[in-house]
Chains A and B, each alone.
Chain A
Amino acid sequence: MKELVEVIAKNIVDQPENVEITKVEGKRSIILEIDVAEEDMGKVIGRQGKIAKAIRTVVKAAATKEGKRVIVEILQ
């Protein structure tokens, strides 16, 4: 799941070397935190959060196999 977010994030930003994904695993849920360069913030959020929403939709679909809730957060 972490790799999924990593592949997406690193392909849509301008500075893939500054992308950091942190996984925090709980009992029932997994939190994936996306940290990108400040200049790339808009590239992962998008106008009215459209890109962030698309990332979450894809991750949510992949998570149905995992049996855990996966939450994607973008660090400000």
Chain B
Amino acid sequence: MTDIDQLQADLLAAIAGAPGLEGLEACRVHALGKQGVVTGLLKTLGGMSPDERQVQGPRIQALRTAVTDAIADRKAMMERAGLEARLATETLDLSLPTGGIGGGSVHPVSQVMDELAEIFADLGFAVATGPEIEDDWHNFTALNIPDAHPARAMHDTFYFDKADGEGRKMLLRTHTSPVQIRTMVTTPPPIRIIAPGRTYRSDSDATHTPMFHQVEGLVIDKGITLGHLKWTLETFVKAFFERDDIVLRQRPSYFPFTEPSVEIDVGYTLIKGKRVIGGTEPDGWMEILGSGMVHPKVIAACGLDPAVWQGFAFGCGIDRLAMLKYGMDDLRAFFDGDLRWLRHYGFAALDVPTLSGGVGA
């Protein structure tokens, strides 16, 4: 073993045995510092003959490389051990609760209105609105509801002690149908709208509240028939309840503002004693919609020629649609603002009904 080999062995042993970063630094200074032994050997190269340098040069360079690498390796090892030791002390109890405000919710009535808007947008229906404080012409007269009709009575309709500029009595709309009138008066056909909103009747018991929500639909065009009405309602009900096996039953009925008038029942299946909408062989029927071909007198009242324009209208309770789809059984709870109920039946902010994502949540 030459002295250089010996030196290398000694130096590597010292590096491996250095107790800490300071000891390692001392090793580095001892070997590679300005006065270091390896540095000293390197300096001797200048005084050698070319032949000698040819022999010693590589050996000394190899020594330097070996020592430099060993120091770097040893240093990296020490640093990693130090980091690991530090991290070992840095623990958190991550089982602690992070709290924060829980998510809010969207009311089922709003959610269902958004669902309706989405479904009917695909069928080309825009969403129309109108005032809730109406006059009796828009709410009754234009809809062919005669003066003596019981719906006009004080025990059915909320009135104000006010009249508008034309002497029409002011009231709270009893249905969304006046939006039909306002739309036909202001918009040239063809018309396809739905009109969701608050409606009011002087009624309060287990299944009626003085305020509730309805959606109205109206199509006015040329050549619209009961067949279009049937298709539209079937298409809507299937899309809304997200089932294809829904059967509708149509019954002749009476509304002053449609002729012919058709009441729509939806078939339900009894599952564990509960009525579930759908089933090709229904166990029974539930009324969900009133509809019909818009009465020629209503079309004429809006300034359109009933010999040219005809169409259909329908109306149904939004609260009831929500109950049938999402399973609430008490209408009064809709308007109580009970957080427990709102959390239970409400919808997440980002449950936005879309055609691609689905209109149910």
Q: Decide whether A and B assemble into one complex.
A: no
Chain B residues engaging chain A, CB cutoff 8 angstroms = none
A interface residues (Cβ-Cβ under 8 A, vs B): none
